[in-house]
């Protein structure tokens, strides 16, 4: 895991963490749901506001991909309530932390928020099994095994992100 510098946690409201992938039906919903559940388990649900977005608008209003929902279910999470959204400049500006699932999302987000600086990070920078600049692969064109593998990767990364944020969230 790389030494990623994170933005300060606001003291007067929850930290706004937004995950971003391509269509907001596979990877970013997984990350949103896992972080929400893991933050709640650590007693931090009231200190962090979590959402997810896509860089494209193809799936706006749709639920998560059925394979995403199935992978989440196999891991003990409920993904049935998710509805896809497309990020815009306002949403990007309102986020305290934008978490991209791959480098193409980093580029898209820099276009929406050129001043993002440390507020824009790549999720796998927090994965102890990654070298810090690896992408979370898009499982969309794959089968259930790849969705499970991606979810495991996201879960490790989200736990690393939460470990990095937790001290500031508790202060």
Q: Catalytic residue among 21, 47, 65, 102, which?
A: 21
Residue tagged active-site, from 26, 27, 65, 102: 27
Is residue 27 among the annotated active site residues? Answer: yes
Q: Out of 57, 110, 138, 149, pick the active-site residue.
A: 138
Q: Which residues pair with 62 in a beta bridge?
A: none
3-state per-residue secondary structure call for 8-64: CCCCCCCEEEEEEECCCCCHHHHHHHHHHHHHHHCCCHHHEEEEEEECCCCCCCCCC
Residues 6 or more apart whose Cβ sits within 8 Å of residue 5: 118
Cα 64 to chain center, whole Å? 14
CA 26 to chain centre: 11
Catalytic-residue membership of 138: yes
Instruction: Please give the positions annotated as active site.
Output: 21, 27, 138
């Amino acid at each position: 895991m790389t030494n990623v510098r994170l933005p300060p946690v606001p003291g007067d409201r929850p930290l706004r963490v937004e995950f971003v992938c391509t269509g907001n039906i596979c990877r970013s919903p997984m990350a949103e749901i896992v972080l929400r559940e893991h933050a709640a388990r650590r007693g931090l649900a009231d200190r962090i506001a979590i959402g997810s977005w896509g860089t494209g608008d193809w799936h706006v209003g749709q639920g998560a991909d059925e394979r995403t929902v199935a992978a989440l279910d196999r891991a003990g999470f409920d993904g049935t309530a998710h509805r896809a959204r497309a990020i815009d400049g306002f949403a990007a500006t309102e986020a305290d932390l934008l978490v991209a699932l791959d480098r193409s999302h980093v580029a898209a987000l820099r276009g929406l928020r050129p001043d993002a600086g440390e507020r824009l990070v790549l999720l796998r920078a927090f994965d102890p099994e990654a070298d810090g600049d690896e992408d979370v692969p898009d499982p969309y064109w794959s089968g259930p095994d790849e969705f499970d593998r991606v979810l495991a990767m996201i879960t490790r990364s989200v736990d690393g992100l939460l470990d990095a944020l937790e001290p500031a969230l508790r202060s």
